[in-house]
Amino acid sequence: MSSLILRTAVPLLVSLMVVFSIFVLFRGHNLPGGGFVGGLIAASGLAVYMIASGPAAVRRALIIHPIGVAGIGILAAALSGVLALFVGGPYLTGLWWLPDNIDIKIVATPVIFDIGVYLTVVGSVAAIALELEEWR
């Protein structure tokens, strides 16, 4: 069992890591970062939580099984490329739904693709970490 200090500090630390991972996810469309790096940060937060509370607590905290999260991510990434086929473009062509004079470019297929990568990384790394911890 971990120390009282670790168990007390971990919820705040994990919350900060998840919020930072979402920041990195959306920042990564135009700057370094993105779905992969953000997903690794979020999965690291789950690993820290698992160190403090054990794998059973992490499984209770997750609403969806980690493999299901990875599957949803793969589906989102694949479907983001299909949308371009409906407008006559090749697979994975980026589409934006806001006029060009608006600087916010968050409603786009590359962002959906990044979210899919994020979910895939979080789900797969969390599943691997949980399995490895339960073997220990």
- Asked whether the predicted pLDDT for residue 11 surpasses 60, the reply is yes
Give backbone dihedrals phi and psi of 108, rounded to 5 degrees, phi first. -155, 160
Q: What is the pLDDT of residues 106-115, one digit of tens each?
A: 677 888 899 9
The model's confidence at residue 122, banded by pLDDT at 50, 70 and 90, is very high
CA 98, chain centre distance (Å): 24
Give the residue-averaged pLDDT of 87-95.
85
The answer to pTM > 0.75 is: yes
Whether 28 contacts 37, CB under 8 Å: yes
Quick: pLDDT tens for 12-37: 999 999 999 999 998 886 677 789 99
- Compute φ and ψ for 3, nearest 5 degrees: -75, 160
pLDDT at 101: 64
